[in-house]
């Protein structure tokens, strides 16, 4: 490589790690906002967990700063894959100006890093002769590829999976609403209030929600996958909070026919409290309305008896 080519390659590499720093900062900022703002969290997908994305971007950015070609390639692959995940989540590929700029400089940084490495290697071979690569290099490279692959796999699962927290009905993915409607779990005139799934990837392995009229518990492994419980069939609601990271809170429903149903609700970001509070409020409203109707029917019966007399 000529000197001007080397300088050009180093410039592309510098541009890539500068954008990597910017991307890290923006990811941290969006994650912190998402941790405290519910609407932003559900609409953007940024939350406390995406701080791990920021950590990965920062690590790869440092590798690019050190002119690591595999770090540059890793950040490029991560960037492209993240955009496909966003498109799968939102239904539209983000072909914005920012996407094009970041993608271009990451690509040029990757190409330049490989070119610069090849040039440096040729100079070293001319000066010292061909050297055999150590076993440690292969081990570290393989480990890095494994870690990156595992992280990408988790990203794909997270994008296609149901998530780890309670979701308000207005922020629920369209595919979940469509499934509930197609399976007859929700009537057209009902509104889903809160929804949660403890499944890992396939949400039909277990999800739980309530509308303004009933509670629905679903698990595809059951002989009858769905339990539909109108509010007027519920005798009592008991809530057992569990704020720990590893366990979910539990809701226990005592039905008027003497049966009991319980299901988990994630405590992440206080979702279990909101789920329980709203469910209890709607259930009490139904009880109050039912009591009023019973009193009205009783008074009507008394009036009928007096009239007959």
How confident is the model over 190-216, as pLDDT tens digits? Answer: 999 999 999 887 899 999 999 999 999
User: Mean pLDDT, to the nearest integer, of 253-272?
Assistant: 92
Residues 130, 174 within the same domain? no
Residues 195, 304 within the same domain? yes
The residue that leads in pLDDT, 24 or 99, is: 24
- pLDDT exceeds cutoff 70 at 122: yes
User: Mean pLDDT, to the nearest integer, of 281-300?
Assistant: 79
State the Rg of the chain over Cα. Answer: 28
Confidence of residue 125 (pLDDT cuts 50, 70, 90): confident
Mean pLDDT is lowest, of 15-19, 117-121, 175-179, for 117-121
- Indicate which CATH number applies to the domain containing 203: 2.30.29.30
- Measured at the CA of 264, the angle between CA 242 and CA 253, to 5 degrees, comes to 105
User: Mean pLDDT, to the nearest integer, of 222-236?
Assistant: 94
Percent of the chain with pLDDT over 70: 86
- pLDDT exceeds cutoff 70 at 300: no
| CA-wise closest residue to 13 among 63, 49, 80 | 63
Look at residue 115 in the predicted model and tell me its pLDDT. Answer: 92
Residues 186, 147 within the same domain? no
Last residue of a domain, one of 108, 126, 160: 160
Residues 180, 84 within the same domain? no
Look at residue 90 in the predicted model and tell me its pLDDT. Answer: 57
Residues 48, 142 within the same domain? yes
Look at residue 88 in the predicted model and tell me its pLDDT. Answer: 61
Q: Where is mean pLDDT largest: 27-31, 118-122, 143-147, 201-205?
A: 27-31
Last residue of a domain, one of 160, 182, 207: 160
Residues 145, 40 within the same domain? yes
The pair of structure tokens assigned to 282 is 């709607």
- Residues 40, 34: contact at Cβ < 8 Å? yes
- pLDDT exceeds cutoff 80 at 145: no
Report d(CA 262, CA 156) in Å as an integer: 30
Q: Is 177 helix (H, G, I), strand (E, B) or coil?
A: helix
Look at residue 208 in the predicted model and tell me its pLDDT. Answer: 97
**How many structural domains comprise the chain?**
2
User: Which residue range(s) make up the domain with 234?
Assistant: 167-308
User: Mean pLDDT, to the nearest integer, of 96-116?
Assistant: 91
Residues 139, 189 within the same domain? no
Confidence of residue 253 (pLDDT cuts 50, 70, 90): very high
Report d(CA 101, CA 79) in Å as an integer: 12
pTM score of the predicted model: 0.66
Residues 29, 143 within the same domain? yes
User: Mean pLDDT, to the nearest integer, of 1-26?
Assistant: 92
Look at residue 130 in the predicted model and tell me its pLDDT. Answer: 63
Question: Where does residue 184 fall: left (phi above 0), alpha (psi -120 to 50 degrees), or beta otherwise?
Answer: left
Residues 33, 141 within the same domain? yes
Look at residue 22 in the predicted model and tell me its pLDDT. Answer: 95
Residues 73, 127 within the same domain? yes
| CB burial string 183-214: b at 16+ within 10 A, e below | eebbeeebebbbbbbbeeeebbebbbbbbebb
Residues 193, 57 within the same domain? no
User: Mean pLDDT, to the nearest integer, of 133-148?
Assistant: 75
Residues 10, 152 within the same domain? yes
What would the pLDDT profile of 77-89 be if each residue is shown by its tens digit?
889 888 877 676 5
What would the pLDDT profile of 53-77 be if each residue is shown by its tens digit?
899 899 999 999 999 998 999 899 8
Look at residue 179 in the predicted model and tell me its pLDDT. Answer: 93
Last residue of a domain, one of 144, 160, 176: 160
């Amino acid at each position: 490589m000529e000197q001007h080519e080397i300088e050009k390659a180093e410039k592309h590499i510098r541009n890539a790690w500068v954008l990597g720093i910017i991307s890290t900062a923006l990811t941290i900022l969006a994650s912190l906002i998402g941790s405290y703002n519910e609407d932003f969290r559900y609409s953007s997908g940024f939350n406390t967990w995406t701080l791990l994305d920021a950590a990965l971007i920062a690590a790869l950015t440092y590798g690019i700063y050190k002119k690591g070609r595999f770090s540059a390639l890793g950040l490029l692959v991560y960037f492209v894959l993240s955009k496909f995940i966003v498109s799968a989540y939102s239904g539209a590929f983000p072909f914005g100006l920012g996407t094009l700029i970041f993608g271009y400089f990451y690509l040029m940084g990757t190409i330049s890093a490989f070119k610069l490495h090849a040039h440096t290697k040729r100079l070293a071979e001319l000066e010292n002769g061909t050297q055999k690569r150590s076993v440690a290099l292969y081990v570290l490279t393989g480990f890095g590829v494994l870690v990156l692959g595992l992280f990408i796999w988790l990203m794909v699962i997270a994008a296609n999976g149901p998530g780890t927290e309670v979701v308000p009905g207005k922020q629920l993915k369209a595919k979940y609403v469509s499934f509930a409607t197609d399976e007859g779990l929700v009537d057209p005139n009902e509104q889903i209030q809160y929804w949660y799934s403890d499944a890992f990837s396939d949400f039909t392995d277990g999800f739980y929600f309530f509308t303004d009229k009933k509670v629905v518990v679903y698990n595809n492994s059951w002989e009858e996958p769905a339990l539909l419980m109108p509010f007027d069939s519920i005798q009592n609601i008991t809530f057992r909070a569990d704020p720990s990271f590893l366990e979910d809170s539990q809701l226990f429903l005592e039905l008027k026919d003497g049966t009991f149903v319980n299901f988990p609700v994630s405590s992440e970001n206080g979702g279990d409290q909101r789920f329980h509070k709203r469910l209890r409020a709607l259930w009490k409203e139904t009880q109050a309305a039912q009591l009023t109707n019973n009193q009205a029917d009783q008074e009507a019966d008394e009036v009928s008896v007096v009239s007959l007399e």
